[in-house]
Chain A
Amino acid sequence: MTDTLLRPGSGMLPGGPGEGMLVEVRGEGELRTQDMNLNIGPQHPATHGVLRVVIDLDGEKIVRATPVIGYMHRGFEKLAEARDYRQIIALVNRHDWLSAFCNELGVALAVERMMELEVPDRAEWIRVLMAEWNRVLNHLMFVGSFGLELGAITPVFFAFREREDIQGLMESATGGRLHFTYTRVGGLKEDLPRGFLAASAKMTRNVRVRNSEYRDLLEGNEIFKARTRKVGILPPDVALDYGVSGPTLHATGIAEDARVTEPYCRYDKVNVHVPVGATGDSYDRFQILLARIDASLDIIDQVLDNIPPGPVNVKLPKIVKAPEGEIYVRTENPLGQGGYYLVSDGKKNPWRLKMRTPSFNNISAMSYLLKDQLLSDMIAILGSVFFVVGDVDR
């Protein structure tokens, strides 16, 4: 017992077991523990929304953890069946509100591939650009909030400052700050405003500088490290079994990324760096997040180098109808692999639109991750398996 409570080099804990004052050990040297059932959430700040986790505790150890979801179920898949494809683009903006552009991109790609539409070159490049900005936006949010949950207040303010600037940039092109609704089937709503690319170039520089500051703030933080290292280790085979994707999967050492393995838009023309971790613990997941911001900024720079002039739209019939059949399109969303399984019966609205969301699969692995962990580590684990509750519940 004693050696677990003493940190090497930290000397004796006052009043600790080394001094034999507080803890009295009887019998076989074990303390009696108490079983307890605990509800975390649904209104808990660490759950980013309304996720509830029912926990069975044995002392401090989590014996069983059961995530309870559905508090934010809005029936998007049903609503999508009553809407045409243009409206669905506005709809899918909303299930993962931090990855709005990447979501709408998935739907547009699915319909375009079914209709075998050729999307203008410039539109495809702009899509890459916007998807990467969206990724940076998303990751900044989680960089900030993860620190916040572990007690580091500062990073979230810094992160939101950058988010604000990027949101302003996105707003100048799309008109939206959170729900961009910028994609259209066959292209984009409109071309970028003048000066957008120059502002993008400047913004990448700023964010890159800032990102290294976050790295110093959190990775140089002893408390942060102590709370996240070797905590919540997810083995690669389990991650794949649960369909965990995105930064959480990459932290386990598997570099599966749809942008690389099955490039869409113009990701085949840019060099996509996929950072991977080694141990798959919370600390790795967080590092991946920071590294992914840099990787996205690199992609943005490459887009700025290569983006061609030209139209951003194709002429479409008044009513867009996907031909009969089904298709699955996956994209690498900020939180992981997002996908849409579209079954069309040839009408203007889909027969079935399955939304494969990264958060749903990631959270389904939560009961595995939390088992046998300490209660105090739960926040570090929940915060590092990046999810949005709207994306879980849809």
Chain B
Amino acid sequence: MTPEDLAEYFRDKLGARVTDTKVAHGQLTVTVDPEALPTAARLCKEDPALRFDFFDWMSGVDERDAGFGVVTHLYSVEHRHHVNLRAVAPGGRDQPRLPSITGVYRGANWHEREAYDMFGVEFDGHPGLLPRILTVENFEGFPLRKEFHLSTRDAKPWPGAKEPEERASAEAGQSVTTIDTPAPVSAEDKAAAAKAKAERAKAKAAAMRAKKAGERAAAEPQPAGGDLTERAAAEPQPAGGDDQASAAAEGAAPAPASDTATMDAGGEGLDKPPAPSDPDLAGAGEMPEAASATDAPLQADEGEAEETRSASPAAAGEDVPAGTPAPDEPMGAAEIADSDIAKDAAAGAVQGDVAAGATGDQAGEDEPVDDLAAETASGIGAPPSASGTPGVEAEGRHGGATEQSGDRPAAETPGMNADPQGRAARPADQTPAPGADDGASATRDSGQAVSATTPDPAAPDTTPGGDASDRPVESYPSPDAEPLRAQELQADDADPPVEPTTPSGEGERS
């Protein structure tokens, strides 16, 4: 039966006890009279046309002024249809009560206990709602009610506030999640302390930068990007200042541009020296730098400029060589270029999309032009050996190295498994640059790729196909991935067959 038919069927069978039916996203929700809940459940289970034999779950929902709703989800293995059986507990927010359906579905026992524990809905006829199932026995209150505040949100405002209205509400001490306004926090004090801290961190970062720049200035010329980054970092931050300051106070990474910089990475951004192998932070720092190499923040629109500014101190603070020919910079750009190329050729995607993907969907407004310019910049100024980028980025770096070495065979490479020629044409990519460091999360996989391609860099196209034919993997017939796999198999022969990831090449360790 379709959900609509089911709704009709419920109305037929239960009559006025069905107060509402609703179909949304192809899912049926039947609201029944609270008293009729066990009757409805029994009908669901025993009616041969319904046969809801699988008790899926039951859950309370805070229905604001109406009190608490309880939704029971049932599924029929036989008919493969679902229903949400919903009842709003009478008694408002003070004394919500519902009849229990444990007599119908045994599985409802724990779910009703949970609904009691979380929302305080009492179930008549339940064998025992106490002791509380999830919280401790002397716990006070019902945690999933909206008036129950998360204590952390009471202590400090929402750190993820990005929109102006949220910021305003956060400064007013209003927790985003609550109905009622909790006691306001002393936002001014916090902001002041945070500002001071940000200043200190900035000064420290600038000192470190200057020192590093001095060290390297003699050896290498300063690219234009360094100046800009420095300027962006040293600039006072008029618009994003408060936001960033409060973020600093809470120890959150002040890089709202990246959603990969979660709270886990928090606090380290400002004070600590770089953790270069941290992909999150590298990702956060990479966009503004790559952009600044091409004057992008100066031309970008308001919102993006603000993001860039607020992100750049993080980059400057942790990324010591920001003022020098930062190894990150071409690498980041190369990474973008690499993935661009891959996706572009395959689907003609806009490069901005890919950039957004690389930095966590946030910097969606990037112009493709920037990327192109960044690629060019990376092609010119990229030092071939860089440190501390894991996974894909490591390959991106190799791509950058290739670009630097002259023409760009990579430019025509579509998706990773779409074009064997493209891959075969870049054996140099796979050769680890001397002194290259693949970082903490260097992929065994890329190590594998290295070992697979290096034996035969000159003539990858001549790989005998017959070699692979006696392998079980030959049943994997995607024609385009063939040459690489053949090479891998060759490499396999050298390895013990059960050890798939023998570390080989310096790329894995040094």
- Chain A interface (Cβ within 8 Å of chain B)? 69-70, 73, 75, 77-79, 81-84, 86-87, 90, 113-114, 165, 168-169, 171-173, 175, 181, 184, 186-187, 189-199, 201-203, 205-206, 209-210, 237-238, 240-243, 245, 254, 256, 261-262, 301, 304-305, 307, 309-319, 325-328, 330, 337, 339, 341, 343, 347, 349, 351-352, 354, 356, 360-361, 364-365, 368, 393-394
Contact = CB atoms under 8 A, between A and B. Distances in A.
Nearest to B61: A352
Given A172-B446, A198-B484, A243 B395 contact: no
B349 to A, nearest CB: 5
A201 B473 contact: yes
Interface residues of B, number: 95
B391 interface: yes
Contacts of A196: 416, 445
Contact of B476 (A210, A304, A341): A304
A202 B492 contact: yes
B444 A169 contact: yes
Contacts of A343: 61
Nearest to A166: B500
A325 B25 contact: yes
A169 B135 contact: no
B362 to A, nearest CB: 7
Interface of B: 24-25, 27, 29, 53-57, 59, 61-62, 71, 73, 77, 80, 82, 84, 105-107, 109-110, 118, 132-136, 143-144, 148, 150, 153, 158, 160, 162-163, 175-177, 259-260, 262, 279, 303, 339, 342-343, 346-347, 349, 352-354, 356-358, 360-362, 364, 390-392, 395, 414-418, 423, 441, 443-446, 448-449, 452, 472-473, 475-478, 481, 484-485, 488, 492, 497-498, 500-501
B105 A241 contact: yes
Nearest to B413: A194
A281 B472 CA distance: 35
Nearest to B495: A202
Contact of A173 (B356, B391, B423): B391
A194 B84 contact: no
A-B CB proximity, top 7 nearest = A172-B443, A309-B415, A309-B346, A172-B445, A354-B59, A313-B357, A242-B107
Contact of A352 (B62, B418, B484): B62
A195 B446 contact: yes
A113 B25 contact: yes
A349 B150 CA distance: 14
Contacts of A315: 352-353, 356, 361, 364
Nearest to A116: B25
A271 B144 CA distance: 41
Given A169-B444, A194-B423, A194-B446, A69 B134 contact: yes
B176 A171 contact: no
Contact of B342 (A186, A191, A198, A393): A191
Contact of B106 (A86, A175, A241): A241
Contacts of A352: 59, 61-62, 144
A240 B481 contact: no
Contact of A90 (B133, B262, B362, B497): B262
A174 B304 CA distance: 27
B500 A190 contact: no
A342 to B, nearest CB: 10
A238 B106 contact: yes
25 contacts: A70-B133, A73-B135, A78-B144, A82-B150, A82-B153, A165-B444, A168-B445, A190-B339, A193-B416, A194-B423, A206-B500, A242-B106, A243-B54, A309-B418, A311-B353, A313-B353, A313-B354, A315-B356, A316-B364, A325-B24, A328-B27, A328-B84, A341-B57, A352-B62, A360-B110
A277 to B, nearest CB: 16
A314 to B, nearest CB: 8
B134 A327 contact: no
A311 B361 CA distance: 13
Contacts of B475: 301
Contacts of A191: 339, 342-343, 357, 392, 415-416
A257 to B, nearest CB: 10
Contacts of A83: 160
Nearest to A258: B75
B25 A70 contact: no
A318 B362 contact: yes
B262 A87 contact: yes
Given A197-B416, A242-B106, A330-B56, 19 more contacts: A70-B135, A70-B136, A78-B143, A81-B177, A82-B177, A171-B441, A171-B443, A172-B444, A175-B390, A198-B481, A199-B445, A240-B55, A261-B80, A310-B346, A311-B357, A317-B364, A318-B303, A352-B59, A364-B110
Given A201-B473, A305-B476, A195 B106 contact: no
Nearest to A84: B160
Nearest to A317: B364
Most buried by B among A198, A241, A254, A365: A198
A73 B477 CA distance: 47
A309 B417 contact: yes
Contact of A114 (B25, B56, B59, B71): B25
Contacts of B143: 75, 78
Contacts of B62: 351-352
Contacts of B443: 168, 171-172, 193
Contacts of B57: 243, 339, 341, 354, 356, 361
A365 B488 CA distance: 48
Contacts of B303: 318
A235 to B, nearest CB: 12
A168 B444 contact: yes
B501 A168 contact: yes
Contacts of B56: 243, 330, 337, 339, 356
A195 B445 contact: yes
A81 B179 CA distance: 12
A315 B77 CA distance: 38
A79 B177 CA distance: 10
Given A194-B416, A205-B473, A243 B500 contact: no
B55 A242 contact: yes
Nearest to B492: A202
A310 B354 CA distance: 11
Contacts of B354: 311, 313
B419 to A, nearest CB: 9
Contacts of B105: 241, 243
B449 to A, nearest CB: 4
Contact of B500 (A203, A314, A337): A203
A192 B123 CA distance: 50
A197 B485 CA distance: 9
A327 B27 contact: yes
A205 B498 CA distance: 9
A211 to B, nearest CB: 12
A114 B25 CA distance: 7
A189 B360 contact: yes
Nearest to A254: B77
Contacts of B77: 240, 254, 256
Contacts of B109: 364
Nearest to B53: A240
Given A243-B107, A301-B476, A328-B73, A82 B176 contact: yes
Given A69-B134, A194-B423, A199 B279 contact: no
